[in-house]
Structure 1
């Protein structure tokens, strides 16, 4: 599975966990097509976001202006979490910060609304600039 696909599937799994409060293994199973087997990067993203969610959310909150993290659309919030995880904790995956941001913006164009990509780019750029 390509990393973009793994990110999209991770987004869908994290969205389900957020909305339906289901366990991660069930969420991952739901997003995989019947012929697909579990992908290590997909699992790493979901596990990583869930295990670091508190610190990731704190990072995101610190760069929000006139927003709370709870007000952010579920899709946008989880795109931010995945990219923030890759930026802050994904050094071993060899993902450059700019690639993590670009991927998040492109995924936001597909899954978010017309303002999502700009919003996500702005928040992630602030995280990058303050590393």
Structure 2
């Protein structure tokens, strides 16, 4: 199992346990450290697990609102605890993750794989449907921020040509 996938698995298991046992913040670090020790002994970067969990917790209200909006027929408390936490984790990576390290479609696919591994028979389809809906609504976060490489290259070339022309004009 790839290190990042294992890390997401441990993060999801920790969030599941935290959510299932009443969402007591004081127990979260104990749960996370135990799960890292028990399930992720070979993980190269355990800080990735902690960062995922802390990010989900920090943005949980926002994540839950987005999930409720994307799946209005499924109130959050009626979504299976596993599925709810897989959605939170996938949505966190989709919205707030480093898009260069984890492109949005990879974040969605990883969440689907977690749902298939840990959830019920239809969990993968459910997670795919919810995250796919959100992805279609928001587009690819950060994609519009940077111009496509060809446009950028064309603009740079145009700027260089203008500068060269100015130099020629000044020399005449």
TM-score (norm 1): 0.92
Find the counterpart in structure 2 of residue 24 from structure 1.
28
Point out which structure has higher relative CO (alpha carbons under 8 A, 6+ apart): 1
How far, CA to CA, are the matches of 2:28 and 2:51 in structure 1?
Answer: 11
Q: Does 1:54 align with 2:61?
A: yes
Query: How far apart, CA to CA, are the structure 1 residues paired with 2:99 and 2:67?
Result: 21
> Which residue pairs with 1:88 in the alignment?
95
Unmatched 5+ residue regions in structure 1? none
Asked whether the equivalents of residues 24 and 46 of structure 1 are also in contact (C-alpha less than 8 Å), the reply is no
Question: What is aligned with 2:5?
Answer: 4
Candidates 65, 72, 75, aligned match of 2:79: 72
Q: Distance in 2 between matches of 1:92 and 1:40?
A: 18
Higher alpha-carbon Rg: 2
Aligned residues: 131
Q: TM-score, normalised by structure 2?
A: 0.71
Q: Is there any run of 5+ residues in structure 2 with no aligned partner, and where?
A: 139-172
State the shift of 1:92 in Å: 5.9
